[in-house]
Amino acid sequence: MGSFSAFSLLRHAIGGNRHWQRHWRAASPKPSYDVIVVGGGGHGLATAFYLAENHGIRNVAVIEKGYIGGGNVGRNTTVIRSNYLLDGNTQFYEFSMKLWEGLSAALNFNVMFSQRGQIVTAHSADQMDAFSHRANIMRLNGIDAEILGRDEVRRLVPYLDFSDTARFPIHGAILQGRAGTARHDAVAWGYARAASGHGVDIIENCEVIDFLRKGDRIVGVETTRGRIGAERVGLAVAGHTSVLSRKAGLELPIESHVLQAFVTEPVKPLVDHVVAYGADHFYVSQSDKGGLVFGGNLDGYNSYAQRGNAGVLQEVCEAAVALMPNISRLRLLRHWGGIMDMTPDASPIISLTPVPGLYLNGGWCYGGFKATPASGWCFAHMLATGEVHPLTRGYGLDRFRTGHTLDEAGAGPFAWLQ
């Protein structure tokens, strides 16, 4: 597989680019594996990579019903941040941030992690207090955070609406400088290439139809490409977790909802940060290609359709112009939807399950992309050792029974409101 570098690029260019090889092997299923990871998205591929890299477990298959990276890792708005409030979330997402900071090097694949900083505007004194609380927690956990006054925000992002006619005037903002964006597809491809290089089989166009059982225990999967045995099966199919879990007899506190993403035509550099509107649902960044990538709120009803409705399109565009009156003339190029596993507290699930041999990684809500490296790291730990990784102790399925929920927004057990 050859290493990527400026030199290899030059060498191949001289050779007319005719000798590049597949980034990941086109594998066919073997009769059995030590571990099967169901789902060739960011989390599944990362899990496979860390199983090999951290635990030396290379007899691993990633099984994907379509093409890898075709789910939410390739549909999200690519924001990466670690500005979480609650004990359990704070440490997990910061661990993920640290992995992001070394990810291109670790994978020898440029995932274009760009720490351009995230600004969330505040529109009241109470919101400033709430942001200060968050920023204080972040600092006390070794995470960078700043609180900005109105004038400081204006210096950084002068194109926001600082006029007298702003409906919700900007009081200030919270800034995490290390937050940013990455090239989402590259994350899937980079993990796939690195995992494949470690011997992991990445099996595309292979759909899991059912689970193989021995007594209570799950011992493999039945797929459209035949039966495949495994010591342990890990699910990483956020969006469709309920559908697959039901086949294993698992009942979950998850609902599937659609979150839309939007991109405008490419323009020269305009938005240098990730900017989020604290008065409504809108966040935006500019991709390296030049398009403004933005998003808003969930469509608001259970959905397995990867498309959004026109109402949210309107809501998001209204909020966009309210925050950034200068993008009114910019034109929307595409909008699409991704299916989120929404949990009752908007925090994820990385958990042992009541079904022996089955391990669960899901419930990522709208925050899965930023968690990809840490999720893969911790889920690999669980699949390798059978134990919960210390960073994910708060993410067990039992928390809804015990009441130890991690509800950052305090929105309560209403998936569509989280």
Q: Which of residues 74-113 bind another protein (CB under 8 A)?
A: 74, 86-87, 90, 101-102, 104-105, 108-110, 112-113
| Window 202 to 231, contacts with another protein (CB under 8 A) | 204
Q: Which is nearer to another protein, 90 or 223 (CB)?
A: 90
CA–CA distances in Å: residue 127 to residues 133, 177, 179, 360: 10, 20, 20, 35
Does position 8 interact with another protein (CB under 8 A)? The reply is yes
**Cα separation of 57 and 42, whole Å?**
19
28 SS3 class:
coil
Minimum distance, C-beta of residue 227 to another protein, in the bound complex (Å) = 24
Q: Given candidates 76, 78, 114, 347, which one binds another protein under the rule CB under 8 A?
A: 114
Question: What minimum distance in Å lies between the beta carbon of 320 and another protein?
Answer: 5
Q: Does residue 297 touch another protein according to CB under 8 A?
A: no
The residues in 135-164 that bind another protein, with binding defined as CB under 8 A, are: 135-137, 139-142, 145-147, 158-159, 161, 163
169, 177, 229, 249: which one binds another protein (CB under 8 A): 169
Shortest approach of another protein to residue 112 CB, angstroms? 6
DSSP three-state, residue 121: strand
For position 24 contacting another protein by CB under 8 A, the verdict is yes
How many residues bind another protein (CB under 8 A)? The answer is 141
Pick from 27, 156, 313, 388 the residue near another protein by CB under 8 A.
313
Residue 175 or 383 having the CB closest to another protein: 175
327 pairs with which residues across the strands?
none
5 contributes a contact to another protein by CB under 8 A: yes
Token pair recorded at residue 237? 């199919």
Q: CA-CA-CA-CA torsion for 181, 184, 187, 189, nearest 10 degrees?
A: -150
CB 294 within 8 A of CB 280: no
Residue 189 found at the interface with another protein (CB under 8 A)? yes
Name which of 313 and 388 has its Cβ closer to another protein.
313
- Residue from 27, 332, 352, 388 touching another protein (CB under 8 A): that is 332
Choose the stretch contacting another protein; rule: CB under 8 A; options: 30-38, 212-220, 314-322, 381-389: 314-322
Please state the closest distance from residue 38 (CB atom) to another protein, in A: 16
Least Cα distance to 155 among 135, 141, 130, 175 occurs for: 175
Helix locations, 102-219, DSSP H: 103-107, 125-140, 150-156, 184-197
Give the Cα separation of 252 and 81 in Å (integer): 27
Q: Which is nearer to another protein, 91 or 383 (CB)?
A: 91
Q: State the nearest-atom distance from the C-beta of 16 to another protein, in Å.
A: 7
**Stretch of residues binding another protein (CB under 8 A), selected from 44-52, 229-237, 307-315, 352-360:** 307-315
Would you say 287 and 316 are in contact if contact means Cβ atoms under 8 Å apart?
Answer: no
Binding status of residue 115 toward another protein by CB under 8 A:
yes
Q: Which of 27, 166, 212, 352 binds another protein (CB under 8 A)?
A: 166
Give the strand pairing for 118-122 and 172-176.
antiparallel
The values of phi and psi at residue 274, to 5°, are -90, 125
211-218 CB contacts, 8 Å cutoff, 24+ apart: 211/247, 211/248, 211/358, 216/355, 216/356, 217/355, 217/356, 217/357, 218/248, 218/355, 218/356, 218/357, 218/358
Interacting residues with another protein between 229 and 288 (CB under 8 A): 240, 242-243, 246, 251-256, 264-270, 286, 288
Pairing of strands 60-63, 201-203: parallel
**CA distances, 381 to each of 49, 107, 189, 396 (Å):** 11, 19, 22, 14
* Cα 176 from Cα 79, distance rounded (Å): 12
Site string for another protein, 346-375 (x = CB under 8 A): ------------------------------
Q: How far apart are CA 298 and CA 294, in angstroms?
A: 13
Residue window 42-61: x/- pattern of binding to another protein, with contact defined by CB under 8 A: --------------------
Does residue 131 bind another protein (CB under 8 A)? yes
Q: How far is the CB of 268 from another protein (least distance, A)?
A: 4
User: What is the nearest approach in angstroms of another protein to the Cβ of residue 369?
Assistant: 15
- Residue closer to another protein by CB (options 80, 320) is 320
Backbone angles phi and psi of 132, in degrees to 5:
-65, -40
Q: Minimum distance from CB of 256 to another protein (Å)?
A: 6
Distances in whole angstroms, Cα of residue 278 to Cα of each of 21, 80, 168, 370: 46, 17, 9, 20
